[in-house]
Structure 1
């Protein structure tokens, strides 16, 4: 038998042993397996309408929006991807050709944060207002590479409780098919006893609206190197001022670690009838999902994930799927009972994923993949 035939048989045998959940089919594993086994997810390359893989977007957020998925790029993305929203068809992982450029209102242009938001803002997450999908909230993280505050503004916003340049909640209003406008901005303020610390590149990387317009914010790490979740109430008058927005600590039952970095880098809210619901969060470095009970009746469940990239090779020279060495999830959105996830290509590690030559150009271009999996009932009990 020829070598290529043997390779194909081996690939099929290995695939049969792996529990997979793809964007098209659900694993037959039971709920206990979903809790105790590593779940392998089959991804789809996110592509332009011409079939070209998306170029280095450094995808930093993912949410359901008008039947599609909405994402945003951070400040390390290719310049062609920055300061705009990306619309993705979840069924095909194909980008909408329309560019939703982010502009600024006159009022914001006159405010303290205009220079930074005009220059190189580091957008790291987004959330869609559940009662008005024309309002989208995004958050900034690292401002060390951008234009700093004026002396007057620095004095006004010096007491952030975290970084020298505060993290900003940015309100976007969808104006038309091609434009979203920054209408309001508020800096976040953390109480001193929250011990958040001054970590410009380890800030808020997850946003999710829960019940009653409660906005949850996932922090990568605090002074004890622990991931944290805070909240802020987006009430009717929230955007009537540009002063600090103090955050609260809902004191959720999160895992604690003795060593290492275990940041949260994507998050969404899962509604459950008759309950407070859950936050589903992605732990980027660990390739795990956290299932966080907002009622605080049970500890956070942790689900281990693995990620498979398609090779699109059928001649037996490569496996149909290659397991990724480093995926680095950074966006998570829920549609119904399906969890959608997108990775943020980690530039110093992404080429470690190359196995089949057919994928080398995609990994070199820092192209992301879209993954999905169903919610398992066992997580919620």
Structure 2
């Protein structure tokens, strides 16, 4: 109810009174009142759900049931026309969605991302020959992993898990160990959020082993940084510090952040400084504050969601030192940024930290 009222206030919308909203929410949950489009538009953004999920409908089939061989052959023939140019178009669409997500958040992208994945899955389902399937599978692996992270940020945990599984299967078919390692490592964060950090540590280490020698140096550094954060959440302080040392060792020199072999990976010294501060804050290390303020000064201003997470990290570091005023100030800034992106995951973290004030 509070989130509906806040959203309505921010966007100058008229909604029912608090008493009426209390009744509406109860009746929506119990199926006694249909959700009107007026409220469905708000709820889709707040909950990060598709329209079908919001209304409890089963997802529509990818396409109408094939009515005999003619329809099947038509679909196969259409899939054969998927050229490298079309695959590049798929990748460009994923890149556009990644950019919008980074700057505006995932909540407004649910329907676009769902349609994009559906198109890619359809292309792969009816592609017959390996030379056609592999490029499409590679594009699907990248898109599914992005969709999974967006779903996790929006609080749709089961959808996130299923998207990660889709991304892993696509990466295996494409014979792309970098994509497989990346999807597996990100999936470990779902386990962390579910309160299973020990299992998450095992999964992220499995991702590193899976990639083996076929990982790029920047991705290897990214994986070690992820391992460090997850080890910190599991209370494995020594393992965390060793993983951070490995991340520093593998990170290429220079200011360039993007991995040309793995476009979803952004990591340079500034990003790694922030990651180190986050891990140290989780361990309650006094040195975390300095690392985090250094990272804040170097942060790309277009990384809105990352800025919200960084403010949360700073709040956690200040609270660990008993600096409650500074912690409160950072949480206020984090909430403003989380509201801009609609991040359910960040807002949950903010609420947990507020309980320490």
Normalising by structure 2, what TM-score?
0.29
Larger RCO, structure (CA 8 Å, separation 6 or more):
1
- Of Structure 1 and Structure 2, the greater strand share is in 1
User: Would you tell me which structure has more helix in proportion to its own residues?
Assistant: 2
Name the larger-Rg structure: 2
